[in-house]
Amino acid sequence: MDAISTDAADLHYSNLPPMLLAASSERAMMSAERSVIAAGFRVGARMPIELAAQRIGQQASATGLWVELDRDCGEAMGELLSKIRSDVSDGRYAAVISATSDLLDPLAALLDAGDIELIIDAEDSDRAAALAIASARRSMPLLLGDIRKRQ
């Protein structure tokens, strides 16, 4: 039979909320999208750096955010990184920031959070590893315990 199945139960989506992509150029966006899709994530939104902070604030739920930077985006980049630092520390989503080596110093100055994966001039394997670490970190529950109970 040459008919195409229209069975709605045949759809296969990840159970995870989507990944959001922010990039400083079209070329950077293509790199980000390639990395995220290769890891099996669904892309929920693609946005320029200048609109990303506002758009992220409107997102109900996201597995993570991938930011791809191939140039300094000035104040918009600083605003976005500040929002990411706050959101990641609050556990809203995981974050990977991929950038070129000329942005290392400004990014290091803006990102003091250890929970954000920062990769510089990364190869495909580095990108995959950073995304795996970030998403695994987000899915690990926060465990608290009273050390006095161990005695």
| Contact (CB, 8 A) for 136 and 39 | no
Judge whether residue 16 has pLDDT over 60. Answer: yes
| Contact (CB, 8 A) for 120 and 85 | no
Q: DSSP state, 41?
A: P
pLDDT tens-digit map of 23-79: 999 999 999 999 999 998 999 999 999 999 999 988 878 889 999 999 999 999 999
pTM of the model: 0.81
Handedness of CA 12, 14, 15, 20 (dihedral sign): negative
For residue 18, the tally of other CB atoms under 10 A from its CB is 18
Of the candidates 16, 121, 28, the one whose C-alpha atom is nearest the C-alpha of residue 67 is 28
| Contact (CB, 8 A) for 52 and 80 | yes
What is the share, in percent, of the chain residues with pLDDT greater than 90? 57
Tokens found for residue 100: 């070129």
What phi, psi does 146 have (nearest 5°)? Answer: -100, 115
Q: Report d(CA 75, CA 55) in Å as an integer.
A: 16
Average pLDDT (73-88) is: 93
Paired strand residues for 67: 22, 97
